[in-house]
Amino acid sequence: MCQLLGMNANTPTDVMFSFTGLATRAAEHKDGFGIAFFEDRGVRLFVDPHSALVSPVAEMVRRYPIKSDNVIAHIRKATQGHIALENTHPFMRELWGRYWVFAHNGDLKGFDPRLHGAFRAVGSTDSERAFCWLMQELAKAHASVPSTPELTCTLRELLPTIARHGTFNLLLSNGQALWAHATTALYWLERRHPFSAAHLADEDLSVDFGALTQPTDRVAVIATEPLTRDEPWTAFAPGELRVFVGGRTTD
């Protein structure tokens, strides 16, 4: 299994604190890491089939404050697909003139859909197959770019088809919204005014968000396990899909 980290904010925000928390878990999840940062329509996608603990790419990500409004990160413990760059999450494709980024925690058994459209897997993971199928079905469901609520509706119809095959915790973003779906393990958190200090659950590191933020800032963080020990993380229910826009989620 793997670990996911997502961030959605109403103003470009760096994720160095959260990524440091995630990377401490790379001792167990040593089969690669990846992180994608949206900057408006563009994406920086860093992937490395080496552990985030030793990767020079991860080291750069921890030190370079890349500011983004949508981030998806993943540290990998291989279940399906050998350890290779092409099997390292997140995966990226283009649809309707937007980049889409996807990462998955879980294991899908016997999920081998017919990929007859414009999206084929490059590597050999169940995760990339699931992503390609989702892109294919989204493209079939909408002739042109749908709104975020319409996309959420379509995803709500599509995701159970995949989730029948096993554990399917995922993060998906097109730079405008971030969707998170859980079958077993995912937590979310909204940070907003008044901001306070937070301590990483895994490492003796704290940050005072009050000193780093504006009162209007809103940041949502989604993770496989709570990353901090003194903030009100909420667990996803099994089968729950949430969409995050501008640092907030709606019920």
Q: What positions carry a catalytic annotation?
A: 2
Pick one of 56, 194, 215, 232: the residue that binds its own copies (CB under 8 A): 56
Report if residue 80 touches its own copies, rule: CB under 8 A: no
Give strand pairing partners of 192: 218
Pick one of 67, 120, 140, 193: the residue that binds its own copies (CB under 8 A): 120
In the shown chain, the binding pattern of residues 2 to 41 toward its own copies, with x for contact by CB under 8 A and - for none, equals -------------------------------------xxx
> Would you call 250 exposed, middle or buried from its count of C-beta atoms within 10 A (0-12, 13-18, 19+)?
exposed
Report if residue 62 touches its own copies, rule: CB under 8 A: no
C-beta of residue 7 within 8 angstroms of C-beta of residue 68: yes
Buried b (16+ CB within 10 A) or exposed e, 144-160: eeeeeeebbebbeebbe
Report if residue 83 touches its own copies, rule: CB under 8 A: no
Element (H, E) at 6: strand 3-13
C-beta of residue 69 within 8 angstroms of C-beta of residue 14: no
CB of 16 to its own copies, least distance (A): 13
Q: Which residues bind its own copies (CB under 8 A)?
A: 39-49, 56-57, 60, 63-64, 84-88, 92-99, 117-123, 139
